[in-house]
Structure 1
Amino acid sequence: MIKSHRIKLKYHVIFWSIYFFFNVIRWGSYFNDYQYSLKSNLVEFPLHMIITYTTIYYLIPNYIATKKFIQFLIYFGLLLGGIYFLRTGLNYIFVSKNLWPEADGIHQAYTFNHVVAVIIGEVYVVALASAIKLTYDWGEEKRKNNELLQLQTKTELDFLKSQIQPHFFFNTLNNLYALTIMKSDNAPEVVVKLSDMMQYVLYEVNNPFVDILKEINYIQAYIELEELRFGDKVKTDISLIGDFSGIQVPPLILLTFVENCFKHGARNSDKLKISITFESKKDTIYFNVANTIDGTPKKKTNHGIGLENVKRRLDLIYGKKYNLSTKIENHKYIVNLELSVI
């Protein structure tokens, strides 16, 4: 059910003013008597407003909205009858003894044809005003629903993004812990790099989009951290093709794929080769990451706990304007992602 929304008073005044002057000019031109048209409309318009507002703000909410259609018809019929008697009597007293000048000849009041003609006129006014009011309510309801949907989407995106940040942070701390256990000389360098990266994670990614070059630098820093951990066991190659200036992407959306290369590839291989390609072409960003894997390729693989998180974020942000595919080919796990530039 569409809820009723309050319309500002000035729009009521504008509507009735336009409708009043239109009627005065219309019937004044029809009768070639603008004085008569003005007097009759001055009498009738307060009645138009009474039946219109009573119907819109009382009868429709209390009977149509609650599916009490018979009661609505009864009360609306009684309202029309009351308006008819008031309109006829006031016109007879203040305007003219001829109550139906637009009809041929002289017609008496309270005849069938006169009642029908007056009722049709009132129903026309109520229908016009109701259509405008329902259209306004529909538009307001749609706007509020869109705002609610945007809020829900933002809340879900914030939640999904918040899952990635502590996940990355604790993984990196575990790496640092492993280096300190081994008393590695690389531990101080890891601390410095971790500090720079955490500044990015805690402050930069609060925005819905970040410059893609910042995201690439962040990924490069993450790779350097992992290379310090794994040493000669890992060989990484990063390629940038095209112009990336001014292009923005959701923060941390690409990191999961790179992180999984180390998590799954390095854990299961003596030698790990990773190739990462960023390509900007027209209005599309192409991201490709591949890492070597050992063993017999499987048709299905669960390559990364954050994959569903990334898919959901992509769905919320890009809708159908992205394409994500994964495959195992020639002892490599390959991820291809295409993003439309927003």
Structure 2
Amino acid sequence: MRVKSFLSEKKILLLHLSFWLLYFSYRVYDMEAYLGYRKAILYVSLPMAFNIMACYLHYFFILPNWLKDKRPAPYFLKLLPLIAIVITLRLHAENLVFADLFRNEAYYKTIKPERVVSTLWDTLSFLLFTGMIRFTVNWFDLENKRNQLENEKLVAELNYLKAQINPHFLFNTLHNLNYLVYSGSARATDVIIRLSNIMRYMIYDANKEKVLLKKEIEYMNDYIHLESIRLNQAFKINFYTEGDPQQVEVAPLIMLTFLENAFKHGVSDQEEKCWIDVRIVITDDTIRYDVSNKKLKMANKNLRSGFGLDNVKKRLQLSYPAKHRLVITDQDDLFSISLTLNRA
């Protein structure tokens, strides 16, 4: 699994080039009035070359090891010799180049303690600044990788929950089809057509992050039709929609799970006056989904009632974190859910 970095290599290179170019331009502009343009370029370029060498030996070869193992002793054992070597080379190079070029010849013919301290401070300033850049990029890179891994974990969990839903629903539908075929019903063909529509939806759409609400409603209508065949229409259902479902997207299969739960525990061909009420109201800011049903007097004990609702609660937390409100009402003769999804 390849995790993308916070900044691409090209962006990091551009960041460093921009910094050195700005620094060089500023220093040349600052010194030009005292030295002239050509001398200012040389005066800035030579120390800058040694600072660049120190910075990037530290940036690419010393600092990464410390960021990896967090051991200070090996870090300083490498850093201190680097600083000593770079400063020594820089001081001798300045003596060779600057002694005959500038008026203060004596300053560049000897190496006095104050000059060593000044050069050391200059080098340390650049090491500290570029080191802070490396720390910042590394921190954001780690945060970005953590977020990507967390997102991939959530996607994997969401796909796992969807995979649980699909076989669960298919089991019920195939059971219905088996019942019709066994009884010799001519409606078996209609069931096969409806089931093929559902399979198409589950294969091509259910694994998407979002689908058009219109498709989800069509899927629910196919489910209702299959259940009405199995139950010989021994129930009354009211399905009401308000708003344009063609312009709205939702996470797939969530609404179906609540409808399926209503059929499981609210409709039976052994009881009279069973009913289900479904309402979908779309506004500019929210999608309101209400499902209520008559509660059966004798619950079927072999139904796994908690499976679907627990599953959809987890999916809501993953698909709509802090963007949904779910209210479940469980009374003696009535069961209802009210789900509000924020569109923003």
TM-score class, shorter: 0.7 to 0.9
Q: Indicate conservation of the 8 Å contact 1:268/1:294, yes or no.
A: no
Residue from 62, 87, 92 that aligns with 2:90: 87
Q: CA deviation at 1:194?
A: 2.0
Distance 1:192 1:50 in 2: 73
Distance 2:108 2:42 in 1: 20
The structure-2 alpha-carbon separation of the partners of 1:27 and 1:302, relative to structure 1 and needing over 3 Å to count, comes to: farther
Q: Does residue 289 of structure 2 align to residue 262 of structure 1?
A: no
Distance 1:178 1:304 in 2: 25
The structure-2 alpha-carbon separation of the partners of 1:231 and 1:4, relative to structure 1 and needing over 3 Å to count, comes to: closer
Q: CA deviation at 1:86?
A: 1.7
Distance 2:135 2:78 in 1: 20
Q: Which residue of 2 aligns with 1:54?
A: 57
1:210-229 superposed matches below 5 A: 210-229=211-230
Q: Which residue of 2 aligns with 1:178?
A: 179
Q: CA deviation at 1:279?
A: 0.6
Q: Which residue of 1 aligns with 2:42?
A: 39
Q: CA deviation at 1:100?
A: 11
Q: Which residue of 1 aligns with 2:32?
A: 28
Q: Does residue 148 of structure 2 align to residue 147 of structure 1?
A: yes
1:167-246 superposed matches below 5 A: 167-246=168-247
Moved more, 180-189 or 41-50: 180-189
Letter of the 2:295 partner, please give it. Answer: I
Residue from 304, 312, 315 that aligns with 2:314: 312
Distance 2:335 2:270 in 1: 13
Structure 1 gap segments, 5+ residues each: none
Q: CA deviation at 1:313?
A: 1.7
Q: Does residue 131 of structure 2 align to residue 130 of structure 1?
A: yes
Q: Indicate conservation of the 8 Å contact 1:325/1:336, yes or no.
A: yes
TM-score (norm: length of structure 2):
0.84
Q: Indicate conservation of the 8 Å contact 1:100/1:107, yes or no.
A: no
Q: Provide, for residues 268-294 of structure 1, a one-character-per-residue CA deviation record: whole Å limited to 9, x for no partner.
A: 971321101001122100000011114
The structure-2 alpha-carbon separation of the partners of 1:314 and 1:87, relative to structure 1 and needing over 3 Å to count, comes to: same
Q: Which residue of 2 aligns with 1:16?
A: 20
Distance 1:100 1:294 in 2: 103
Q: Which residue of 2 aligns with 1:278?
A: 280
Q: Which residue of 2 aligns with 1:73?
A: 76
The structure-2 alpha-carbon separation of the partners of 1:302 and 1:324, relative to structure 1 and needing over 3 Å to count, comes to: farther
Q: CA deviation at 1:125?
A: 1.2
1:291-310 superposed matches below 5 A: 291-295=293-297, 303-310=305-312
Q: CA deviation at 1:32?
A: 4.6
Distance 2:103 2:6 in 1: 37
Q: Which residue of 2 aligns with 1:156?
A: 157
Distance 2:324 2:103 in 1: 67
Give the paired residue count. 333
Q: Which residue of 2 aligns with 1:290?
A: 292
Distance 2:293 2:265 in 1: 9
Q: Indicate conservation of the 8 Å contact 2:95/2:110, yes or no.
A: no
SS of residue paired to 2:322: coil
Distance 1:50 1:107 in 2: 21
Flag as ranges the 4+ runs of structure 1 deviating above 6 A. Answer: 3-6, 97-101, 105-108
Q: CA deviation at 1:37?
A: 2.5
Distance 2:261 2:77 in 1: 70
Letter of the 1:291 partner, please give it. Answer: N
Q: Provide, for residues 290-340 of structure 1, a one-character-per-residue CA deviation record: whole Å limited to 9, x for no partner.
A: 11114599xxx9844122221222222211101112111362111111112
Structure 2 gap segments, 5+ residues each: none
The structure-2 alpha-carbon separation of the partners of 1:27 and 1:80, relative to structure 1 and needing over 3 Å to count, comes to: farther
Q: Which residue of 2 aligns with 1:332?
A: 334
Q: Indicate conservation of the 8 Å contact 2:258/2:291, yes or no.
A: yes
The structure-2 alpha-carbon separation of the partners of 1:157 and 1:63, relative to structure 1 and needing over 3 Å to count, comes to: closer
The structure-2 alpha-carbon separation of the partners of 1:269 and 1:107, relative to structure 1 and needing over 3 Å to count, comes to: farther
Distance 1:100 1:77 in 2: 33
Percent identity, aligned pairs only, is: 28
Q: Indicate conservation of the 8 Å contact 1:260/1:304, yes or no.
A: no
Q: Provide, for residues 82-129 of structure 1, a one-character-per-residue CA deviation record: whole Å limited to 9, x for no partner.
A: 22222222111111369997xxx9698544432222111111111222
Distance 2:297 2:8 in 1: 68
Distance 1:22 1:60 in 2: 28
Q: Indicate conservation of the 8 Å contact 1:100/1:106, yes or no.
A: no
Distance 1:6 1:49 in 2: 21
Q: Does residue 331 of structure 2 align to residue 341 of structure 1?
A: no
Distance 1:113 1:160 in 2: 70
Q: CA deviation at 1:258?
A: 0.7
Distance 2:333 2:32 in 1: 88
Distance 1:212 1:161 in 2: 17
SS of residue paired to 1:84: helix
Letter of the 2:24 partner, please give it. Answer: F
